[in-house]
Structure 1
Amino acid sequence: MPKWLFITLLIAAPIILGGSTGNGFVMLLAIAMVLIANPFIWKVRKNRYFNSEQFKSLRAQVASVVAEHNDVVNYVAEIRDQGAFELGASSTGQYAHLANFKNTSAWNNRRDRNVAEYAPHVHNASLQVVRNASMEPIKYLMKYFEIKANEETLADVQRVAEDISRLEEAVGNVQRREAEIVAMIKPPAFILKRYADEFWSLVGVHLSPITVPYPNYKFQYTSAGGNSGQTVDITLDTPTLDALSETLVQKIRWAKSAAGQRALMTARLRAWIKERDRHTCQNPSCGISVAAEPHLLLEVDHIVPVAKGGLSEPENLQTLCWRCNRAKGAKMPA
Structure 2
Amino acid sequence: MSNLKSSAIWAAGAVVLLCGMATSDWPIALALFVIVYGYKAYEFFYFRSAKFLAIKSRISAHIQDCNNLNDHIEELKSTQIGTDMSHRGHAERRDNSRWNYKRTEFRKDSNAANVYNCSRDIVAGAQRDPIKYLCKYFGFNADEPTLNQFETMLNNFTAAEDGKQALAGEKNEILGSIANEIPLPIKVLAKKQLARKLGFKDVTLNDMFYPSFKFQYVSSGGNASTNSVVTLDIPNLNAMVEYLSGRIQWRKSVAGQRALMTSALRKYILQRDNYTCRICGANLNAEPHLLLEVDHIIPVSKGGMTTESNLQTLCWRCNRSKGAKMQE
Q: What TM-score range do you get, normalising by the shorter chain? A: 0.7 to 0.9
Taking structure 1 as reference, are residues 76 and 330 closer, same or farther at Cα in structure 2, changes over 3 Å only? closer
Give 1:275's aligned amino acid.
Q
1:26-41 alignment to 2 at 5 Å? 26-30=23-27, 32-34=29-31, 36-41=33-38
| Offset, 1:26 | 3.5
Taking structure 1 as reference, are residues 94 and 295 closer, same or farther at Cα in structure 2, changes over 3 Å only? farther
What does the per-residue CA deviation read over 1:267-299, in whole Å, with 9 as the maximum and x for residues that have no partner?
Answer: 11111111121111122xx21211111111211
SS of the residue 2:23 aligns to: helix
Give 1:130's aligned amino acid.
V
Aligned residues: 302
1:291-330 alignment to 2 at 5 Å? 291-329=285-323
Query: Which residue matches 1:279?
Result: 275
Match of 2:137 among 134, 144, 165: 144
Distance 2:115 2:305 in 1: 36
Taking structure 1 as reference, are residues 88 and 188 closer, same or farther at Cα in structure 2, changes over 3 Å only? farther
Instruction: Determine whether 1:88 maps to 2:83.
Output: yes
Distance 2:22 2:253 in 1: 85
1:220-235 alignment to 2 at 5 Å? 220-235=216-231
Which one has the largest radius of gyration? Answer: 1
Query: Which residue matches 1:115?
Result: 106
SS of the residue 1:289 aligns to: coil
Distance 2:87 2:27 in 1: 64
What does the per-residue CA deviation read over 1:187-241, in whole Å, with 9 as the maximum and x for residues that have no partner?
Answer: 6786467645532233122335697632110111223333332222111122211
Match of 1:207 among 193, 202, 225: 202
| Offset, 1:122 | 0.6
SS of the residue 2:160 aligns to: helix
Distance 1:160 1:101 in 2: 38
Query: Which residue matches 1:8?
Result: none
| Offset, 1:176 | 2.7
Taking structure 1 as reference, are residues 171 and 92 closer, same or farther at Cα in structure 2, changes over 3 Å only? farther
What does the per-residue CA deviation read over 1:12-70, in whole Å, with 9 as the maximum and x for residues that have no partner?
Answer: xxxxxxxxxxxx95324345435544531331442465467875565455334213213
Query: Which residue matches 1:253?
Result: 249
SS of the residue 1:27 aligns to: coil
| Offset, 1:244 | 0.4
TM-score of the pair, normalised by structure 1 = 0.72
TM-score of the pair, normalised by structure 2 = 0.73
Q: Contact (CA 8 Å) 1:154, 1:248: kept in 2 or not?
A: yes
Distance 1:180 1:67 in 2: 14
Q: Percent identity?
A: 36
| Offset, 1:312 | 2.3
Match of 1:270 among 248, 252, 266: 266
| Offset, 1:311 | 3.3
Instruction: Determine whether 1:158 maps to 2:151.
Output: yes
SS of the residue 1:243 aligns to: helix
Q: Which runs of 5+ in 2 are unaligned?
A: 1-20
Query: Which residue matches 1:128?
Result: 121
Query: Which residue matches 1:43?
Result: 40
Q: Which has the higher contact order (CA 8 A, sep 6+)?
A: 2
Give 2:64's aligned amino acid.
A
Aligned-CA RMSD value:
4.1
| Offset, 1:251 | 1.3
Distance 2:56 2:79 in 1: 37
Distance 1:311 1:208 in 2: 34
Taking structure 1 as reference, are residues 56 and 303 closer, same or farther at Cα in structure 2, changes over 3 Å only? same
Q: Which runs of 5+ in 1 are unaligned?
A: 1-23
| Offset, 1:138 | 0.6
| Offset, 1:317 | 1.9
Match of 1:238 among 230, 234, 243: 234
Distance 2:266 2:243 in 1: 19
Distance 1:39 1:30 in 2: 14
Taking structure 1 as reference, are residues 314 and 63 closer, same or farther at Cα in structure 2, changes over 3 Å only? same
Distance 1:94 1:231 in 2: 23
Q: Contact (CA 8 Å) 1:301, 1:325: kept in 2 or not?
A: yes
Give 1:204's aligned amino acid.
G
Taking structure 1 as reference, are residues 250 and 229 closer, same or farther at Cα in structure 2, changes over 3 Å only? same
| Offset, 1:143 | 1.4
Q: Contact (CA 8 Å) 1:113, 1:226: kept in 2 or not?
A: no
Q: Contact (CA 8 Å) 1:298, 1:322: kept in 2 or not?
A: yes
| Offset, 1:102 | 9.8
What does the per-residue CA deviation read over 1:60-105, in whole Å, with 9 as the maximum and x for residues that have no partner?
Answer: 553342132133234345546xx64023255799979x87979865
